[in-house]
A and B are shown apart, each in its own frame.
Chain A
């Protein structure tokens, strides 16, 4: 993270743990990476889905890339701390950037499902608690197979997270799932 990023430390009262909060414009390098991944995974023009100006909000090591609402620029100038706004576009954690489930949902609705795995109910259940997905839980693989997959719940076709195939472990490794909001953000 660049040195000019403002870091705020706050004590989480219930757990007495310190929380690190950072918010800034998304670095261009990171934004470019997100656009490249979207192009590779979904074969769409990323400019149609990612606005020119986005922000990166990090709570500890979990970073969210999200859009910026135009009116908030004025709020920032007047000294108000804006810590989240707009639409969730991606996740940046442990050096890896992944599209948001919201973005994948939107693209699938417009262009059809790509680079995804349809997972059985039991597999989804384990996944939403932070676990990996076993190959036997996968009902269908939507091409292209380039390593990263959106995870689709077979019950309602909802995107519930992202995985990465690990040939070493023989499982789809959990990159993040929707349960993360409860685990990290409370």
Chain B
């Protein structure tokens, strides 16, 4: 199975219209991105999305319930001047509504003692909760650093009594931070490996029932915290990313046990990086299905099945999308692939 870069480029190429150029100029985006938003959402809603990207997102504190109760942590952080609001669908996690000037969230005693992890946004909690729903056992986190999801999964599995997280990444200096989090949070059920996830199938002599692939992507959903992403990824860069995403997903699904589930996750709202990728892989490989999330944590938006001249399989609708202007979170896409 091989999709050439020029084929991807041809498939995803967008010629922006005048109104896309004008909006792009006003908000500092690459015009093809704006054209895409208009094509998916319509002009009015695209404008709402662009405006939502201008607003800051709330960071999240996730309690390490192996060391402290969430109510105790909340009390202690509130004494330091933080104002927290519990996330109804993620037990033990809080949105940080207000912060004092000092200390920062990453410099409190409680942080150093491993009582919590700081997520930039609540969206990254969702794939872990979906993938580990009513599950205990081993899990592979293929692109794990810096470790927000891996440490969350390890914490949940430890509480359920069994399961090791195999946390892999290609970037060693980011794995160093992951090791820091593991030690800080006193977790003992994580194995850290250093490898290109695309060749893991040739090195691992086993399969997994659960795999998390938080693929390196354009990060287009994180524009609110990194505005440089408005202009960072040209269409050619995007095609290169898509090619790598297809390679990652198609090699990792081979590591699934029959009945096993892989969560394909990107912090991107680009259909090219999401629906296009999963659609290509499930069509090219037999025996895989896209399934609905096992639990409704919030009112997700559905995956896109038709976009410009691209038509995807209907099951792609089972992917879930988080939109900044609808959900108040990072732009995020999650697709659950099950091996039959």
Of B106-114, B235-243, B281-289, B323-331, the one with at least 4 CB within 8 A of chain A: B106-114
B314 lies within 8 A of chain A by Cβ: no
Pick from B109, B177, B184, B193: contact of A81, CB under 8 Å = B193
**Residue from the list A10, A12, A82, A125 in contact with B109, Cβ < 8 A:** A125
Q: Which residues of A contact B113 (CB under 8 A)?
A: 153, 156, 158, 160, 178
CB distance from B169 to the nearest CB of A (A): 10
For residue A69, which residues in chain B have a CB less than 8 angstroms away from its CB? 164, 191
CA distance A7 to B172 in the complex (A): 13
Q: Among the listed A71, A72, A88, A186, which residue makes an inter-chain contact with B176, where contact means beta carbons less than 8 Å apart?
A: A186
Secondary structure at the A interface, as helix, strand, loop or mixed, is: mixed
> What's the count of A-B pairs with C-beta under 8 Å?
107
Q: Do A179 and B112 touch (CB < 8 A)?
A: yes
Determine the chain A residues whose CB is within 8 A of the CB of B191 once the complex forms. 69, 71-72, 75, 82, 84-86
Contact at A19–B205, with CB atoms within 8 Å? no
B60 touches A (CB below 8 Å): no
Asked if B190 lies at the interface with its beta carbon under 8 angstroms from chain A, I say: yes
**B172 contacts which of A19, A124, A125, A156 (Cβ < 8 Å)?**
A19
Query: Shortest CB–CB separation between residue B1 and chain A, in angstroms?
Result: 24
In the complex, chain A residues 126-152 whose Cβ is within 8 Å of any chain B Cβ: 128
Q: How many residues of B contact A (CB 8 A)?
A: 31
A-side contacts of B109, CB under 8 Å: 124-125, 128, 153, 155, 160
A155 to B115: give the CA distance in the assembly, Å: 14
The interface bits of chain B over 161-194 (1 if a CB of A lies within 8 angstroms of the residue's CB, else 0) are 0001000000011011101111110101011111
| Residues from chain B with Cβ under 8 Å of A59 in the complex | 176, 179
Residue of A whose beta carbon sits closest to that of B179:
A84
A158 to chain B minimum Cβ distance, whole angstroms, is 5
- Is B298 in the interface zone, CB < 8 Å from A? no
Assess the A185–B204 pair: CB atoms within 8 A: no
A185-B180, A186-B177 known; A21-B193 Cβ under 8 A: no
Complex Cα distance A36/B192, Å?
29
> Contact between A75 and B179 (Cβ–Cβ < 8 Å)?
no
Given A160-B112, A181-B183, A185-B179, is A11 in contact with B193 using a C-beta cutoff of 8 Å? Answer: no
Interface size on A, as a range, is 35 or more
Q: A80 contacts B176, CB within 8 Å?
A: no
Q: Verify if A26 is at the interface (C-beta below 8 Å from B).
A: no
**In contact, B204 and A75 (Cβ under 8 angstroms):** yes
Residue B18 interfacial (CB < 8 Å): no
CB neighbours of B114 from chain A (8 A)? 178
Q: How near does chain A come to B171, taking the closest CB pair, in angstroms? A: 8
Q: Please, which residue of chain A has its CB at the minimum distance from the CB of B176? A: A185
Docked-complex contact A178 and B184, CB < 8 angstroms: yes
B203 within 8 A of A: yes
Contact residue among A79, A86, A124, A185 (Cβ-Cβ distance under 8 Å from B203): A79
Closest A residue, CB atoms, query B113: A158
Q: Does A102 contact B (CB under 8 A)?
A: yes
- Quick one: closest B residue to A64, CB to CB? B183
Contact A75:B193 (CB < 8 A) given known A19-B176, A80-B203, A186-B180: yes
Given known contacts A88-B183, A181-B180, A186-B180, A83 and B173 CB-to-CB distance under 8 angstroms? no
Whether B112 lies near A75 (C-beta < 8 A) is no
Q: Is A87 part of the contact surface with B, judged by Cβ < 8 Å?
A: yes
Tell me the smallest distance from the CB of B36 to a CB of chain A, in Å: 30
Question: What B residues does A1 contact at CB under 8 A?
Answer: none
A110 in contact (CB, < 8 A): no
Closest to A87 in B: B188
B136 within 8 A of A: no
Chain A residue with Cβ nearest B203: A80
Q: How far is the CB of A24 from chain B (nearest CB, A)?
A: 15
Say yes or no: is A67 at the interface (Cβ < 8 Å to chain B).
yes
A78 within 8 A of B: yes
Q: Which residue of A lies closest to B195 (CB)?
A: A80
- Kindly list the 7 A-B residue pairs having the minimum CB-CB distance in the complex, ordered from nearest: A185-B180, A87-B188, A181-B180, A84-B192, A85-B191, A10-B172, A81-B194
Q: Give 11 new A-B contacts, CB below 8 A, not counting A78-B204, A78-B205, A124-B109.
A: A19-B173, A69-B191, A74-B206, A75-B203, A80-B195, A81-B195, A102-B186, A125-B109, A155-B109, A156-B113, A181-B181
* Interchain residue pairs with CB less than 8 A apart (23): A8-B172, A10-B173, A12-B173, A19-B176, A21-B176, A64-B183, A69-B164, A72-B191, A82-B191, A83-B179, A83-B194, A84-B190, A84-B191, A85-B192, A86-B188, A88-B183, A102-B186, A128-B112, A160-B113, A179-B112, A181-B184, A185-B177, A185-B179
Residues on A facing B (Cβ under 8 Å)? 8, 10-14, 19, 21, 57, 59, 64, 67, 69, 71-72, 74-75, 78-88, 102, 105, 124-125, 128, 153, 155-156, 158, 160, 177-179, 181-182, 184-186
